[in-house]
Amino acid sequence: MIPRKKPEPVEVLIIGAGASGGTAAKVFTEAGIRVVALDRGPFLRNEQFSGDELKYLNRNYVWPDPQLKPRTYRPDEESPEEEVQFSPTPQGVGGGTIHWGGIVPRMTEDDFRLRSLHGDIPGASLVDWPIEYGDLEPYYTRVEWELGTSGLAGANRWEGPRSKGYPTKPVELTHYGRVFAQAMKKMGQSTFPIPQAMVTEPYRGRNPHVNSGFWQQYGDPVGAKSSTANTFIPDALATGLLDLRPDCYVREIVLHPDGTAKGVIYTDADGNEVEQLADIVICCAGAIETTRLLQLSKSATHANGLANSSGLLGANATFHEYLFAIGLFDKEVVDPLYPWAGHYMNTMSFDYYQTDYGRGHMLGTLIFASMLGHPVNWTFPGRPTWGQASKDTDRDLFNHSMKLGVMVQDLPVESNRVDLDPNVVDAWGLPVARITHTPHANDFAQAKWQVAKNMEILEVAGASKIIPVNLEKITGNCCHEMGTARMGNDPSKSVVDKWCQTHDVPNLYIFDGSFFPTSTGVNPTLTIMANAWRCTERIIHVRGKGRTAD
């Protein structure tokens, strides 16, 4: 057997150098604290990305290879599992911020207190967050400015008070964004420029976005898309205090006899087994992989998985689901929409975000205009697939089609969970994550109402044929992974406290989207990053005083 390598112990060990791990690495190292960051995937640089639809959309260049890293899904405990490519968030330095669309709205003030506002909802495990908008606001601003974002401050009138605007100007308008905005105006509704994790002007040595259209699902060769791989990670490396180790697959978190975290065991890029000891271990691998790792780290004292005395590790999983109404426009009467121009999505509305019980459901979500795909993958339900009908459809409608997206604000349900599949293993021989999920009745109602509303908007916009894509089941097509280690004050009802410290293991933290007590109706990554910054500062503050708690 190859002897186990044991490098020098480190103060802070981060598992997963994506949105939350990259943020924590930056904040720790800039405060003078040494960090080892492990990521199971590669560190791809800007110049390794390109506008190559086939490579990204069809051949998984940045998405996990499903033969090597399968996942399974079942709607409920009675149903058999099937292997699916569920939530294929890139596994590599930068994580989800490599392929993301970079929609970065802030949570609204109400998003933090849904239980107080709506009470007990049957079948759901609705809770308030143990923090408020005001706790995160300074960190939203820091992330917006340090990461590099664009937007029009004040345009979203549902947003809480902000201490500062965006560092670069809003993105430019596209034709599909235009027809959405014009239709909304006719309906007496409002739209605004999407806040984006993108620099639209020269910013801190970075070039502005060039509107190549290759955006969501692609890495950005120009580097105008703000990922942690081209911002926070280089910032942390520049301090000389970050030891970044890509292609290192953590298999287990190991403990000291007193029950505190000792470090991790991982397989490095050359196949060696390595034990890395650390004072603090922070899980940043995403809600699915972090849950899996903690459950793989079972021991006599943690028989249900590490940090799982509540039994809630993996429970209350939420994923949003990306649905839409599709509009097909008559080229004889409507100007081309050029849906491949810009950067996939353009123009947003929050008008249907707030609960209106008159609609027959609670909660709502943002909506936005977007493309149906680049040429290879452009499609819609009912599109003829071959022959003259297919060719005519592509030719007549590729430039005369668009969609209005819905991101379902799904309710937390305790039985919706992530655990280890009992039968399927990955290419390294370890059990894979299994997702068990059935949407709450409110999710179906919300999705149905909003898709129908989006169809109405497209009709006002002049679409000739309008096609719904409704909620049937969740597929993880947003790559938004949340809720599996919910944040709360009561250790019997949550996995981490309000500082993302696990209730059970004092030097073990979870910074990725696992902590979300509720899914919210906004894209989660800005909040994940702001919260990672907040919690990292707290660790620095408390440890700087030689304490282990406040």
Partner 1 sequence: MVSQSQAHWPTVPISARDVDGPLFFTDDEWTLVRAATARIIPTDYDPGAAEADVVRFLDRFLSGDFVYASATGDGFLEIRGKEAEAWQARIRHRQSVYREGLAALKALSLDKYAKDFHELSDDEQDALLVETSGRPKPRHVQLHDDEIFNSGEGGPPPTNQPVSDAGLGFFDMLVAHTRQGFYADPVYGGNKNFVGWRVIGFDGPKSLADTVAGRYTTTDYMIMGATWPYPQSPRVQRFGR
CB of residue 429 vs partner 1: minimum separation in angstroms?
12
CB of residue 400 vs partner 1: minimum separation in angstroms?
9
Closest to partner 1 by CB, 133 vs 176, is 176
Site for partner 1, residues 438 to 457, rule: CB under 8 A: none
> Which pair of tokens denotes residue 340?
């491949």
CB of residue 192 vs partner 1: minimum separation in angstroms?
6
**Between helices 441-460 and 175-186, what is the axis angle to 10°?**
100
CB of residue 279 vs partner 1: minimum separation in angstroms?
28
Closest to partner 1 by CB, 49 vs 353, is 49
CB of residue 381 vs partner 1: minimum separation in angstroms?
5
Which of 129, 378, 509, 511 touches partner 1 by CB under 8 A? 378
165 counts as binding partner 1 under rule CB under 8 A: no
CB of residue 263 vs partner 1: minimum separation in angstroms?
23
Going by C-alpha positions, the residue among 313, 273, 320 that lies closest to residue 524 is 320
Rounded distance, CA 58 to CA 313, Å? 33
Please give the single-letter amino acid code of residue 21: G
Rama region for 467: left / alpha / beta (φ>0; ψ in -120 to 50; rest): beta
Q: Segment near partner 1 (CB under 8 A), from 287-295, 320-328, 348-356, 519-527? A: 320-328
Q: Segment near partner 1 (CB under 8 A), from 113-121, 257-265, 462-470, 498-506? A: 462-470
Rounded distance, CA 103 to CA 526, Å? 8
Walk across the sheet containing 322-328 and list its strands: 345-349, 367-370, 401-407, 322-328, 465-469
304 counts as binding partner 1 under rule CB under 8 A: no
198 counts as binding partner 1 under rule CB under 8 A: no
3 counts as binding partner 1 under rule CB under 8 A: no
Which of 5, 6, 164, 185 touches partner 1 by CB under 8 A? 185
CB of residue 373 vs partner 1: minimum separation in angstroms?
5
354 counts as binding partner 1 under rule CB under 8 A: no
Q: Segment near partner 1 (CB under 8 A), from 28-36, 275-283, 295-303, 341-349? A: 341-349
Closest to partner 1 by CB, 52 vs 132, is 52
Rounded distance, CA 159 to CA 350, Å? 9
Q: Segment near partner 1 (CB under 8 A), from 22-30, 130-138, 335-343, 538-546? A: 335-343
136 counts as binding partner 1 under rule CB under 8 A: no
Stretch 484-523: interaction string toward partner 1, x if CB under 8 A:
----------------------------------------
b/e per residue 74-96 (b: at least 16 CB within 10 A): beeeeeebeebbbbbbbbbbbbb
Which of 297, 347, 349, 518 touches partner 1 by CB under 8 A? 347
Total residues contacting partner 1 by CB under 8 A comes to 116
CB of residue 173 vs partner 1: minimum separation in angstroms?
4
Which of 258, 385, 547, 550 touches partner 1 by CB under 8 A? 385
> Which pair of tokens denotes residue 459?
């009709």
Stretch 34-63: interaction string toward partner 1, x if CB under 8 A:
-------xxxxx-xxxxxxxxx-xxxxx-x
267 counts as binding partner 1 under rule CB under 8 A: no
Nearest-Å Rg of the Cα atoms of the chain is: 23
Closest to partner 1 by CB, 341 vs 500, is 341
Which of 97, 226, 393, 518 touches partner 1 by CB under 8 A? 393
Rounded distance, CA 21 to CA 94, Å? 9
> Which pair of tokens denotes residue 175?
């034709």
Rounded distance, CA 432 to CA 421, Å? 6
> Which pair of tokens denotes residue 95?
């994580």
CB of residue 320 vs partner 1: minimum separation in angstroms?
11
> Which pair of tokens denotes residue 426?
């990955």
Question: What is the number of other CB atoms lying within 10 angstroms of the CB of residue 425?
Answer: 12
Q: Segment near partner 1 (CB under 8 A), from 139-147, 159-167, 459-467, 497-505? A: 459-467
β-strand 82-84 against 401-407: which pairing, if any? unpaired
Closest to partner 1 by CB, 66 vs 431, is 66
Enumerate residues 6+ apart whose C-beta is below 8 A from 77.
Answer: 415, 436
432 counts as binding partner 1 under rule CB under 8 A: no
CB of residue 489 vs partner 1: minimum separation in angstroms?
33
Question: What is the number of other CB atoms lying within 10 angstroms of the CB of residue 262?
Answer: 20
The DSSP string of 379-429 is --TT---SSHHHHHHHHHHTTSEEEEEEE--PPP-TT-EEEEEEEEE-TTS
CB of residue 160 vs partner 1: minimum separation in angstroms?
20
Phi, psi (deg, nearest 5) at residue 465: -130, 135
- Measured CA to CA in angstroms, residue 82 lies from 69, 72, 315, 508, 525 at distances of 14, 5, 20, 33, 28
Q: Segment near partner 1 (CB under 8 A), from 204-212, 273-281, 299-307, 518-526? A: 204-212
**Are the C-beta atoms of 243 and 36 separated by less than 8 Å?**
yes
Site for partner 1, residues 106 to 135, rule: CB under 8 A: none
Q: Segment near partner 1 (CB under 8 A), from 84-92, 157-165, 529-537, 541-549? A: 84-92
Residue 304 carries which DSSP code? T
CB of residue 475 vs partner 1: minimum separation in angstroms?
7
Q: Segment near partner 1 (CB under 8 A), from 14-22, 106-114, 360-368, 470-478? A: 470-478
CB of residue 415 vs partner 1: minimum separation in angstroms?
24
Question: What is the number of other CB atoms lying within 10 angstroms of the CB of residue 260?
Answer: 15
Please give the single-letter amino acid code of residue 405: G
Rounded distance, CA 244 to CA 259, Å? 27
Q: SS3 string of 100-127?
A: CCCECCCCCCHHHCHHHHHCCCCCCCCC
CB of residue 340 vs partner 1: minimum separation in angstroms?
6
